[in-house]
Chain A
Amino acid sequence: MDCSAALNLFDAWLDGELDCDPDRGERTALEAHLAGCGDCRAAADALRLEDADLVRAFAPRRQAAVAVARRAMEQLRREARPPRARRAWSSLATAAAAGFLLAVGLLRPWQRPREAAPLLIVGPGQRPIARLALATGATEMRPPEGAAPGETPWFACPESSSIESGACVRTGPEVCCELDTPDGSQIRLNADTEVRLNQPRQMDMAHGELWSSVTFDEAPFEIHTADADISARRAKFDLRCPSDETVLTVVEGEAMVQDGGRTRTVTAGEQVKIVGGRVAAGQVRTDPLLDTRWVNDLLALKGSDDPEFVERLNDLLSQIGRAKLSILYEDEVRRLGEPAVWPLLRFLASSGPDDEPKKREVAARIVADLAPPRAVSDLIDLLADQDPQVRAQVARALERLTGRDQGRPADLWRGDWTSCEPTQQQWRQWWAERQHRAATPSADERPVKTRADEPMQKARSPTDQRARPGKT
């Protein structure tokens, strides 16, 4: 294949469309050409960057499309209501079928308005039912002492505070927090969220967004919002309350939602919208990783020795190279910050060039951008990686961290290994002369190498990231 033929295939290759016809062998031929042609590789890189920018530029537009769908349905519901009573717009569908509108009898309300969930109801007693485990900023609590809303002031709630039955907890802008409960469940509150913890495994949510990781118990874990009653025995789910609706996204297990007197089961990967106690939108498949990305800020605080952090990082990485939106997953890995570097380094060290090369390249690119000076020694080891793309990214990281390239710029590390090897030796020597001056992580802080099929199970974080501000 020559450069001109390769150029014609770049877009389809990038879009994953060459995979559709493996018999023609175009993909294999193109990738072989790219491996040996620096100019074409540079052109493909430019195209990949452009595609990533387009995905980012269109990300808000995709959200706008969801909002358009919601507004269209709201408009139809509004139009279907007479001035004094609500009536079903379903009747309009029948009328539309006939081609004209009729005054429709037998009207049933599409939405039965419900009172907002009362924030202060009588609690069963005052005993700790949760603990504020983690927060990215100021979190407040209002004690339960039988007062009406507005009369009892809110107090600052430092980490490790116990929360009594009947107390309310709220977060401000750009702050998220995590509550632990005695049964082992976790509740995370996103920014601008308020909940009331009525009793063990039962709470009201006034507004905002929360994540629940519910451990098994015969008694269901219940959350009530103005629009919805949700329960689960063992599940992970996200609950969002924008105006006049509740959106439930189940990440793991299943949750039950009340739908006009019936109980509907929502399973992992599904999302439903609940309006006025009824499921208003069908169960649509969703991407929990992106839908719940706000919890990444809390996970980043926990650091890379937290199993959930590692699991999240693995899940994000597993999407890279597969989905058209893989750049968004890459962005999320970056948002995990420096704690992500150690598991990524270990993944690179413990896998070979044939193990998901795309994922390794992305991992190397992220490492090149985020690695701290403590990683220099591991980076020098990785200069011997068999994949030239990984070597080039690692060399870029070393250039960034040390301000030197030992006479071999990052691009040249894409060349034959035999020509690179002497420079790696120079790096080793350079480091041997200086490492005593550098602060290196202690043995138990360094990334631990394990098998490639368990790429991120034992990583340790050398840093305390608790100062990282929260994002929504």
Chain B
Amino acid sequence: MTDGELVRQTLQGRNSAFEDLVSRWSARTLAFCHAKVGRAHVAEDLAQESLVRSFRALGTLAEPEKFGPWLRGIALRVCLDWLKNKQTGQVTFGDLGGDRREAEQFLAASDDGPAQLAERAEQLRQLMSEVERLPDELREVLMLYYYQDVTYRELAETLGVSSATVNARLTKARSLLRERLSRASR
């Protein structure tokens, strides 16, 4: 079922249609917010807010097939509002070490000992930290790519660029990451 059909069914009162839209778009919305604000846990709140706002404003969506770009516009406004309002340098308590805890929890499913787990979690935290420091357009494409299974073509449609551009940006992003991480480990 297309986005447009789901939007129309939602407007007719079918709750599960909007739930399907949310399932389909939550990863991309979160990736977009993460790329914009550079903080994973803040991005979760902002993505949630974006999805909720999209429901409230669904009646104003003129072209239901363009739900994705429209939702991206909402997420952009939500992120810009947050960036404008946040106090410079203030990090919420929840942000501190969040990525590291998360990585440790995920890795805890492996058979490594505590020391290796901690080291591995630290490596993944550093990697995510470098991802968050990539230039805007590289960060966005990399996050969209790894937050969910998408092809270059789908990414190109989401971003309004060509598949070749997606390829070039992903290549550049990974290359930059390798360079920075190898410099950091020296």
Contacts and interface: CB of A to CB of B under 8 A. Distances in A.
Contacts of A15: 152, 170
A174 B52 CA distance: 36
Interface string A322-338: 01110000010011010
A60 B11 contact: no
A60 B22 CA distance: 19
A55 interface: yes
B66 interface: no
Interface residues of B, number: 58
B149 A57 contact: no
Interface in A68-82: 68-69, 71-73, 75-76, 79
B159 interface: no
A382 B148 CA distance: 38
B155 to A, nearest CB: 10
Given A17-B167, A88-B15, A96-B11, A58 B59 contact: no
Nearest to B152: A17
Given A11-B170, A50-B174, A98-B59, A69 B15 contact: no
Interface stretch (A145-153, A280-288, A346-354): A280-288
Interface in A81-100: 88-99
A399 interface: no
B171 A93 contact: no
Contacts of A69: 22-23, 26, 51
B23 A284 contact: yes
A11 B171 contact: yes
B40 to A, nearest CB: 6
Contacts of B52: 72, 75-76, 79
Interface string B123-150: 1100110010000000000100011110
Given A15-B152, A110-B15, A55 B146 contact: yes
Contact of A56 (B12, B27, B124): B124
A19 to B, nearest CB: 11
Contacts of A358: none
Contacts of A110: 15
A55 B58 CA distance: 33
Contacts of A88: 15
Interface residues of A, number: 61
Nearest to A63: B106
Nearest to A273: B19
A47 interface: yes
A99 B34 contact: no
A89 B59 contact: no
Contacts, number: 157
Interface in B52-106: 52, 55-60, 102-103, 105-106
A65 B127 contact: no
Nearest to A47: B174
Contacts of A452: none
B103 A60 contact: yes
B40 A97 contact: no
A255 B107 CA distance: 32
Contacts of A408: none
A51 interface: yes
A7 B109 CA distance: 35
Contacts of B16: 279-282
A61 to B, nearest CB: 6
Contacts of B10: 93
A404 interface: no
A54 interface: yes
B177 interface: yes
A8 B172 CA distance: 10
A193 B13 CA distance: 37
A121 interface: no
A32 B110 CA distance: 36
Contacts of B60: 99
Contacts of B26: 65-66, 68-69, 72
A59 B170 contact: no
A281 B19 contact: yes
A89 to B, nearest CB: 7
Nearest to B22: A69
Contact of B124 (A57, A67, A282): A57
B21 to A, nearest CB: 10
B20 interface: yes
Given A54-B127, A280-B19, A335 B152 contact: no
Contact of B47 (A55, A68, A293): A68
Contact of A51 (B105, B149, B167, B174): B174
Contacts of A46: 178
A12 interface: yes
Interface in A295-347: 323-325, 331, 334-335, 337
A89 B14 CA distance: 10
Contacts of B105: 60
A236 to B, nearest CB: 21
A324 B150 CA distance: 9
A410 to B, nearest CB: 22
Given A54-B142, A76-B55, A93-B13, 12 more contacts: A10-B171, A58-B146, A65-B27, A68-B47, A73-B19, A95-B59, A98-B59, A99-B59, A280-B16, A281-B23, A282-B16, A334-B110
Interface of A: 8, 10-12, 15, 17, 20, 46-47, 50-51, 53-62, 64-69, 71-73, 75-76, 79, 88-99, 110, 279-282, 284, 293, 323-325, 331, 334-335, 337, 471-472
Among all A-B residue pairs, the 9 with the closest Cβ atoms: A69-B26, A65-B27, A72-B51, A58-B146, A97-B11, A60-B102, A11-B171, A96-B59, A90-B13
Interface of B: 10-16, 18-20, 22-23, 26-27, 29-31, 34, 40, 44, 47-48, 51-52, 55-60, 102-103, 105-111, 123-124, 127-128, 131, 142, 146-149, 151-152, 163, 167, 170-171, 174, 177-178
10 contacts: A11-B170, A17-B151, A47-B178, A64-B44, A68-B51, A76-B55, A92-B56, A94-B13, A96-B56, A282-B19
